[in-house]
Amino acid sequence: MEKTVKLNNGVEMPVVGYGVFRIPEDETKKVVGEALDTGYRLIDTAAGYLNEKAVGQAINDSSVPRDQIFLTTKLWVQDYAGDNAEKAIDGALKRLDQDYIDLLLLHQPMGDYYNAWRALEKVQKAGKVRAIGVSNFESYQVADLIVHNEIAPAVNQIEINPLNPENDNVNWLKESNIVPEAWGPMGQAANGIFTNPVLTDIAKNHHKTVGEVMLRWNLQRGVVVIPKSVHEARIKENFDV
């Protein structure tokens, strides 16, 4: 299986990443460092996670060259209007202590996201961002952005897991040359997903864990995954798919 996928602007993106949602800032630097040491090259954060600074510190302290790391962050809805969007992007670069961001997403389809999208287009053209996309957008909202703007989103990051497969959205995104990316690829350990009898049978038959099965299921559908864990053993296990 390929380790990267080519986005619609030619940029290569790893298919397995490490997410830092709900990881406190004082823990983030350590676990991101462990993820990079394990082999992860995609790190996913957001302004709304309040841990961008620690992510940037981990990247800067790592022995992994910056050009081998694919850094994603997201713009929060309060920064969509007026000239706030461009200021917020500069703020993210400052917090991350980076010269550029590999993928910048609009976090939610709320407020003046048209204005925010045009700010993303502008910073991509300026070289501050290598690729732009969205998160939590419905397919009709993505289609609307494509029709009325110059640059099509490269990625839509949505919740995708075996209990929430999003088949129609995944198929439409792939047909539209937009990469589907799964947050919560293991269902955030809710609704008994780790003891689901179908998943446990598959895991037993393949001598794998249920977590590995869930991640591999998404990867084989062409979906990028960004599992999150603060436990070193699980960080390594999630990468071994």
**pLDDT tens per residue across span 120-148:** 999 999 999 999 999 999 999 999 999 99
CA 122 to chain centre: 21
Q: Give pLDDT tens digits for 77-92.
A: 999 999 999 999 999 9
Rounded to 10°, the helix 25-38/232-239 angle is 40
Average pLDDT over every residue of 94-115:
98
Q: Is the pLDDT of residue 2 over 90?
A: no
In this prediction, residue 45 carries a pLDDT of 98
In this prediction, residue 102 carries a pLDDT of 98
Residue 114 carries which side chain, given as an amino acid letter? Y
In this prediction, residue 40 carries a pLDDT of 98
Residue 73 carries which side chain, given as an amino acid letter? T
- The C-alpha atoms of residue 27 and residue 174 are separated, in whole angstroms, by 35
pTM above 0.85, yes or no: yes
Which residue among the candidates 18, 40, 49, 113 is catalytic per the annotation? 49
In this prediction, residue 120 carries a pLDDT of 98
Examine the residue annotation and report whether 140 is marked as an active-site residue of this protein. Answer: no
The DSSP line for 23-68 is --HHHHHHHHHHHHHHT--EEE--GGGT-HHHHHHHHHHSSS-GGG
Q: Is the pLDDT of residue 59 over 80?
A: yes
In this prediction, residue 1 carries a pLDDT of 76
183-219 burial: b if 16+ Cβ within 10 Å, else e: bbbbbeeeeebbebeebeebbeeeebbbbbbbbbbbb
Average pLDDT over every residue of 6-17:
98
Q: Give pLDDT tens digits for 153-208.
A: 999 999 999 999 999 999 999 999 999 999 999 999 999 999 999 999 999 999 99
